[in-house]
Structure 1
């Protein structure tokens, strides 16, 4: 290794300029080879003269880098520079500015550097040559260190609008776990997200907030007058009608959500309803109710947009006062309890047929009603609605399989035996058909939340029209096929008309009953939450008070007992019971309250007002007439 005293003076200057400590000369043996490329001693003398000047040896890093760049140019006079490679000095392309922008100089300097930059640091005076490695590498514009691209990507993946979507917090949790632990976690599938969205929409039944406060992220109950770090800065009204669902659902997804809301167990009551009304009368009336239901649902949607209120009951309160609000809430509660009672009877009939076909025992029907009560009581205590996602998924799968099985065997028997004798109009029992038809088309509780969840709510009328049209076609098809196949022998539960020795039919009897039992907590949830929010309004939250929680638990069990008791007394005549629910509870909720709100929400169109009043009058007459006929 050469001593610094034997090193040419210009290389000593480079070493001094490149050294991290500008006042400490460093060993420059690795730079001594550059002296062989000098052809002019005068240049070296000149540079030596310049860099031995104390004023030229500034201690600032920028001045040292500029001096180093100038020295590189002067120490390579024998190099022939290509004018094409010389860049414009006004366009610097390196971290050292325009002083070292000539690629030819950098190329020749790089020849004297070791190939391994990492090992070069271990050589004598390796820290001095570090700047040469930086000069020889392509320079890029450095981004501000305040915000990295990785951070930007992460922030784009968790914007507020995505967090507010159904399942948004779960997706954010999965992404954070992946970044923290470095392994891929399974994301929710589209099917899972669809059912979670369906459950979330059910939590806003009829625009009401049915979320249980026991599962809120923070307890905002300030009834005791105390405030802490979890207390909200601005208190919200309990009747706040602002929707909490972000409008991010596509029109196609809204279509399937509505299909799931309308197509249920009610479709299986239609074959016997066709027998009660007659074939032609039933088809005509189903088409009429489809148009009437579409218009009433559309008026409710239109009123929501006009009034800027997302709650069915609050719209009634604004237009007519607290009395109509109470009537709407009572109708919702009666409708849901009636649906659950009818489903309880349906399930008991299926379980009875299943036990008879498999074990040969014919137990009384009330045994199965008691069994369902024992099952429903603990299920009614479920407060976290997302816990019902698997039950809702299985219930929909079983219902779909049951409908497919009924269509298959009914079509098979029709081809084998030919059409049965049917009546076009049944003058004795036609009123029973009206209630069942309304029962099948009832789905008003999900109209508002589905509309509010849509990304393009202006497409809701078209989506609703498609759903009502498909449901009308499906209802007419199922009713006509089964009634045309079995005629006067049609049973209230059409499953009983299928071959009872078939393993497929026996399986459907069990799984369909299981599907209804799994869906009962979801059907009963709106009624329970609406009553709880009024009865226990002044009590502290069950999240902080166990006494309140047990009061609610007892109340839920009592509601379940009342529902199954109604089912027990209505099991003697399922046709009459379903028709009563449709006439007494569904007619005012679907065909009277929406046009009543709409007639006051629209002030200018006289034709629309006349149509609304006509529907209100017809609905009131149908309510009184059909309900009275059921008991005459």
Structure 2
């Protein structure tokens, strides 16, 4: 937004790709946000984080409303769009689709913090249904609107005017505030172990130091890997497929096998695990293969600047 401010207008026209002379390297902007992220993850109370999560949901819904309003205007007839992509693209798609399960690690912590945990199933099913519908609609309509020009983040396809620049701002705010909520799970796993290795007088220092180090690690990763689409596919293939497909199915067999599980349930779990394992192996390979490749098609899938 800062880089494009001088070419942003009040009139919303279809976006054109222009060559801009950068004011600052885009990685510098990432470093500017880093101290604020560190301060945010120092908040450990989930009730306090839920306030930020609510704010993030409001800004995200507002930005999505503007995106849907734009992409639903004048959608061309999809007769020219290919029915299928090549198999390499499908491997990246698998990781990206499974990445949508990246919040699975928050299920148990959120349930444990609820005042009435017995109502969690209803909350989970309702929330997931809404999210699934939004994902399908945004992905389908966005591709019908932009076709092969669809970029890794659909915000890069929006017109370069102040109205749609506000979409980027709202999304940035939403992602910033939900970072702490996503951070809660690995912090709950890693930090207690680190604290147990030191005396009580050093516990607070170690706690804050580990939190800061983990945030710095994610920031360095973002700086070193500019391809957002490949990062999402890689994370989805490696971790989300294990958390959402492989481990749950195997755990069900291990835990309930002694209770006379039906053959259909066992076969279902084995099939899910195999699909997850194959997707993990081939999706990870394809993402790692693509990462060092030179970026083509006008930096369409990178975090570079577009006018």
Structures share a fold, TM > 0.5?
A: yes
2:255 to 588, 601, 613: 601
- Decide which of 389, 392, 402 is 2:63's aligned counterpart: 402
**Candidates 611, 622, 629, aligned match of 2:279:** 622
Q: Return the offset for 1:479.
A: 0.7
Does residue 518 (structure 1) correspond to residue 182 (structure 2)? The answer is: no
* Distance across 2 between alignment mates of 1:400 and 1:367: 28
Q: Hey, what's the Cα distance between the residues in 1 that align with 2:117 and 2:173?
A: 37
Give 1:497 shift. 1.1
Q: Specify whether residues 516 and 463 from structure 1 end up closer, same or farther in structure 2 by C-alpha distance, changes over 3 A only.
A: closer
Q: Taking CA–CA contacts closer than 8 Å with sequence separation of 6 or more, which of the two structures ends up with the larger relative contact order?
A: 2
Q: Pick closer, same or farther for the CA change 1:389–1:595 going to 2, 3 Å.
A: closer
Within-5 A mapping of 1:140-151 = none
- Corresponding residue to 2:85 among 405, 422, 426: 426
Deviation per residue, 1:203-224 (Å, 9 max, x gap): xxxxxxxxxxxxxxxxxxxxxx
Please state how far the C-alpha of 1:538 moved relative to its aligned partner.
4.1
Closer/same/farther in 2, CA of residues 456 and 364 from structure 1, 3 Å limit: closer
Query: Aligned-pair distance for 1:590?
Result: 1.2
Q: CA deviation at 1:454?
A: 7.9
SS state at 1:412 partner: coil
Does 1:473 pair with 2:139?
A: no
- Aligned residues of 2:101 and 2:244 also touching (Cα < 8 A): no
Structure 1 partner of 2:35: 374
Cα separation, 1, equivalents of 2:53 and 2:107: 19
Relative to structure 1, is the Cα distance of residues 418 and 625 closer, same or farther in structure 2, using a 3 angstrom cutoff?
A: closer
> In the alignment, is the contact (CA less than 8 A) between 1:420 and 1:486 conserved in 2?
no
Conserved 8 A contact 1:421-1:488: no
Q: Which residue of 1 aligns with 2:156?
A: 496
Shift of 1:466: 4.9
Answer yes or no: is 1:442 the counterpart of 2:98: no
Deviation at 1:624, TM superposition (A): 1.3
The residue aligned with 1:19 is: none
Residue correspondence of structure 1 range 83-98 to structure 2 within 5 A: none
Q: Deviations over 1:104-146 (max 9, x none)?
A: xxxxxxxxxxxxxxxxxxxxxxxxxxxxxxxxxxxxxxxxxxx
Gaps of 5+ in 1: 1-353
Note the alpha carbon deviations across 1:184-227, whole angstroms, 9 max, x for none: xxxxxxxxxxxxxxxxxxxxxxxxxxxxxxxxxxxxxxxxxxxx
Unaligned stretches of 5+ residues in structure 2: 8-20, 290-307
Q: Does residue 567 of the first structure (1) align with residue 214 of the second (2)?
A: no
Match of 2:4 in 1: 357
Q: Indicate if the aligned counterparts of 1:434 and 1:579 stay in contact, CA closer than 8 A.
A: yes
> CA separation of 1:458/1:595 partners in 2, compared to 1, >3 Å: closer, same or farther?
farther
Cα 1:617–1:512 change in 2 (3 A) is closer
CA 1:373 to 1:613, structure 2 compared with 1: closer, same or farther past 3 Å? Answer: same
Contact 2:101 2:240 in 1 (8 A): no
From 211, 214, 217, give the equivalent of 1:556.
Answer: 211
Distance 1:506 1:471 in 2: 24
1:411 — aligned with what? 72
CA contact (8 A) 2:95 2:235 kept: yes
TM-score with structure 1 setting the length: 0.40
Instruction: Report if aligned partners of 1:357, 1:506 keep a CA contact under 8 Å in 2.
Output: no
Q: Which residue of 2 aligns with 1:576?
A: 230
Paired residues in the alignment total 270
For the 8 Å contact 2:245–2:273, the answer to whether it is kept is: yes
Could you tell me how far 1:424 is from its partner in structure 2? 1.6
Q: Give the RMSD, CA atoms, in angstroms.
A: 2.5
Written as runs of structure 1 = structure 2, the 5 A alignment for 1:146-545 is 354-360=1-7, 362=22, 363-414=24-75, 419=78, 421-427=80-86, 428-449=88-109, 453=114, 455=116, 457=118, 460=121, 464-501=124-161, 503-541=162-200, 545=201
- Cα distance, 1:442 vs structure 2: 3.5
Q: For residue 594 of structure 1, report the CA deviation from its aligned partner.
A: 1.1
> How far 1:522 moved relative to its partner?
2.1
Contact 1:420 1:485 in 2 (8 A): no
Whole-Å separation in 2 of the counterparts to 1:625 and 1:477:
27
Max radius of gyration: which structure? 1
Residues 496-546 of structure 1 show CA distances to partners (whole Å, capped at 9, x for unaligned) of 211112x221222222212212222222122123111112114344xxx2x
How far did 1:626 drift? 1.7
- What is the CA–CA distance in structure 1 between the aligned matches of 2:37 and 2:283, rounded to whole Å? 32
TM-score (structure 2 length as normaliser):
0.79
C-alpha contact (below 8 Å) 1:420/1:484 kept by paired residues: no
Secondary structure of the 2:3 match is helix
Change (3 A) 1:386 1:629: same
